[in-house]
Amino acid sequence: MSTRPRGWVENWTPRAATQQLIEQVQEILAQYADQLPLTIRQIFYRLVARFGFEKTERAYKNRLVEHLNMARRARVIPVDAIRDDGFTIAGRRL
């Protein structure tokens, strides 16, 4: 069973389609530099509108979220460029 690497990732080499997605995200982040940080959901809808990214929850969760996670951990995308709008209960983040 393969497990996800933990912590920072060194020498991440994404596939061509993933690399293209990351470049599109970088373009969006540059375009919205004055509004950073963006949520992943905001990035998702910009990808759908600008690049024809598939508008499904599967594409969002299994493709975008996973690839952005790796890109941030590989320091390809700044961690602070994307905000987490999770919710908090009694001082604990869920």
Q: Residue 37 is encoded by which pair of tokens?
A: 């940080």
Domain that holds residue 36: 16-93
| 57-82 pLDDT per residue, tens | 999 999 999 999 999 999 999 999 99
In a domain, 39, yes or no: yes
pTM for this structure?
0.84
pLDDT in tens, 29-47: 999 999 999 999 999 999 9
Terminal Cα-to-Cα distance of the chain (whole angstroms):
27
How many distinct structural domains can be found in the chain? 1
How much is the pLDDT for 42?
Answer: 97
Does some domain include residue 47?
yes
Residue 3 within a domain: no
Residues 33, 15: Cα–Cα separation, whole Å: 26
Residue 52: pLDDT band (50, 70, 90) is: very high
